[in-house]
Structures are given as C-alpha cells and as structure tokens.
C-alpha cells in the first residue's frame, strides 16, 4: 500500500494510501517488528534514510515513536535502514546508491532524516549530498510536496513575529517538486563566444505538470478552509504566465474553493506582514523552496515542521524540512519533533493510518503542554531537554488515552 495521488479525481477517492552498515555488500537490513494484541495485523515496509548530521539522531527517535504508535494500533513495521547523502558518499562514493534507490522504491513509505554538511561542500556538483535528494525525488516520481506551517499556542512566544501577528497561523504550502528550474534543461556552465563563463538554468513547466500540482492544491484547500493562493511571477516570467493560465482554468472545477493569485515577491512580504490571510498556497519548485522556509520561522523553529512528498503511484517520501545542522550533530541538542511529525504524515498520507497518525500528533502536543522544550524552542519557565529525552516524553504521552488539547 503505497502513497499516491491521482490528480484527476478527488482526495477522498485517492486516500493518499494504498542497521547501520559497514558496506553495501555485507550489510543486513535492520528490522524491527512490533506486534499487537489484535490477531489481525497490518504490515508495512518502511525505508529509513538517516543521512547526515543530526539525521541519525532524529530518525532514531522517530522510529521508536512510529514503532510504539504501530504497536498501539495493531500495525507491524519492517524497517530497512539504508545509506544516503554524505554518509553514502563516504561509504561507496555516490550520494544515492542504486541499492538505496531500489529499497526506497520497493518500500511502502520512506522516512528521511537530513543530508549535507561542510565536509562535502567542495565536492563536484554530482558528488554533493543534495544531488542524492534530487535524484531520489525523481526516482520516486514524487511531484507534490506538502508543508504545513502552524503556530501552536504553546510555541507562539518562540516566533520571531509579534504574538498578535503569529497567533492563529495555520497554512499548507503545496510545492511542485520535480520540475521547474531545479530540473529544467538546458543547464550547466559553458563558455560563450567571448570566452566568458556562463551559468544557465531553465525554468520550464509543461501544462500537465502544472495541472497535476494545481489539482492537489485545490483538493487540499477544499479539505481545509476553502482558500487557495497561487504564487507566481507572471508579470515577468513566461513559465509563470502559463502557470497562472492553467491554475485559473482549473478553478471552474472547484467552485467551493476561493482562488487568488499573488506575485512571489509580494507573497514573501505578506507572509511576514499578515500570515493569517493564507490557508493553502500552491507554487512552483524554487518559490516553494524559499517560501516554505520563510513560513517555518513564523512557527518559531524550522525544527518543528514536517513534510510529505507524494506522487501518482508508489511510496511517498517523508522528511523534516530542517537541514543536517552539523554544528550540533552528535550532541543530543537536535529537535526531533519535525521528524516525529513527519512520521505522523507518513502514517496519514502514506499508509492511510489516520488514527495512528493522530496518536502521534496528540502525543507531541501533550509533551509540549507539559513544558518540555529543546533548545531551539526553549523559553524561560519550561524544561530544557535534549533530543533523546524529548523523544522519551513523546513516547510516554503516546500511552495517554486523553487527547492532548491545542
């Protein structure tokens, strides 16, 4: 049962459902099975890609939470941990080994930690960890990236915005993920007729690529507050002119959704000036990359935000939007909540296990209600904890039968 999006039908029809190693040749997949009291169990294969920096730390915590939630809901998981990013570069010389790609494609869902770090920054482009992520998205054909940005009442004081501006913010950014300037051709660095180096990237979108991400966004808005803002640069870019034309044409199929358009530079300003105006945002690859990181700081910390990347068929890719934070790696300082919430999105959007997902979401809220905070979201009066202890508190809260209050 893999995550998928069929963009010509509704999300109700879609349902968006269905060990460490020394070398690639001698590793044995690290598997954990969680049993449940129920005689009938659902069983899923989960590919774990810890990656680099704090990735292994947050993945370890999220795996434990996913295992516990599965146990409580009668779900059984087989976890297969594979090298990826800089870790794979160090192991076999490429950021996305063929075996890792195969394991991901054969899984029911993929949970990723983080990639990148200073030690690989000077590598040639094709040997950088980030290229592994781009290629993994391409291999999985995940074109729709869903990034929620919600300011929790418990963390409103952690936002860099005034309380009255940040309070109540709840938006979903739907980003096109495998097209646009990150993948367009021609691309590269060449020498022109004057003997001067020239760098070229191409922003290109075909109509079907715009239509499929727009449908996902309309359906997402329909399930939220019924407002969709399409962000482009149609006053300058031809690709954006087509983007706006296609999105506008589809609006007639969704009369219950209020569609608006906004230039990306204005959207960047409005996210800071009055973020509560946004419900669902749909935009292209590069604009979504930038705006979703901006939105993360409204919530107080990039360490709180999960994401889901889904395609027309096959497994989805679930990951926190934060980076590998090599400066704090191995120090038990990382915030694991974004990865834990990514595991909840994996259950909800990847496997259709909404009850188990809600358990995790409630457990995170309960831990926050009890005052536990990692350093990035700490404020006086709360208890400062590390990555492992935060995970332990979420595990304790999973056993609570009373839903946490927001």
Question: What are the residue numbers of the active site?
Answer: 182, 233, 265, 289, 293
Question: Would you say 275 and 65 are in contact if contact means Cβ atoms under 8 Å apart?
Answer: no
- Contacts of residue 129, defined as CB under 8 A and 6 or more positions apart, other chains included, come to 51, 52, 85, 86, 89, 95, 115, 116, 117, 120
Dihedral over alpha carbons 343, 267, 218, 169 (to 10 degrees): 50
| Backbone region of residue 79 per phi and psi (left: phi > 0; alpha: psi in -120 to 50; beta: other values) | beta
Tallying the residues shown for the chain, one arrives at 406
* Lookup: tokens for 208: 């079907």
**CA–CA distance from 50 to each of 30, 222, 231 (Å)?**
13, 34, 33
- Alpha-carbon span 367 to 364, nearest angstrom: 5
């Amino acid at each position: 049962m893999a995550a998928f999006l069929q963009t010509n039908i509704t999300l109700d029809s879609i349902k968006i459902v269905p060990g460490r190693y020394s070398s690639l040749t001698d590793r044995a997949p690290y598997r954990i099975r969680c049993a449940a009291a129920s005689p009938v169990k659902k069983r899923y294969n989960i590919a774990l890609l810890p990656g680099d920096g704090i990735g292994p730390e947050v993945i370890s915590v999220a795996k434990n939470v996913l295992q516990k939630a599965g146990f409580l809901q009668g779900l059984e998981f087989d976890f297969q941990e594979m090298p990826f990013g800089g870790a794979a570069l160090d192991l076999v010389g490429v950021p996305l080994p063929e075996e890792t790609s195969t394991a991901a494609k054969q899984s029911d869902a993929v949970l990723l930690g983080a990639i990148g770090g200073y030690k690989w920054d000077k590598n040639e482009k094709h040997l950088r960890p980030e290229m592994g992520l781009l290629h993994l998205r391409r291999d999985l054909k995940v074109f729709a990236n869903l990034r929620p940005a919600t300011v929790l009442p418990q963390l409103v004081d952690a936002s860099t915005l005034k309380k009255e501006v940040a309070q109540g913010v709840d938006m979903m950014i739907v980003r096109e993920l495998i097209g646009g300037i990150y993948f367009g051709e021609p691309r590269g660095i060449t020498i022109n007729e004057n003997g001067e180096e020239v760098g070229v990237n191409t922003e290109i979108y075909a109509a079907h690529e715009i239509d499929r991400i727009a449908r996902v966004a309309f359906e997402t808005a329909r399930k939220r507050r019924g407002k969709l803002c399409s962000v482009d640069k149609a006053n300058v870019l031809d690709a954006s002119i087509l983007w706006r034309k296609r999105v506008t044409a589809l609006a007639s199929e969704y009369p219950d959704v209020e569609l608006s358009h906004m230039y990306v530079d204005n959207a960047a300003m409005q996210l800071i000036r009055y973020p509560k105006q946004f419900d669902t945002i749909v935009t292209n690859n590069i604009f979504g990359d930038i705006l979703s990181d901006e939105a993360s700081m409204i919530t107080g910390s990039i360490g709180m935000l999960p994401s889901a990347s889904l395609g027309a068929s096959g497994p989805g890719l679930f990951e926190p939007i934060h980076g590998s934070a090599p400066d704090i790696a191995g120090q038990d300082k990382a915030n694991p909540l974004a990865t834990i919430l990514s595991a909840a999105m994996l259950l909800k959007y990847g496997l259709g296990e909404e009850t188990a997902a809600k358990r995790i979401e409630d457990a995170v809220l309960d831990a926050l209600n009890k005052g536990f905070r990692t350093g990035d979201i700490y404020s006086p009066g709360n208890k400062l904890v590390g990555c492992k202890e935060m995970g332990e508190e979420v595990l304790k809260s999973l056993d609570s039968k009373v839903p946490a209050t927001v």
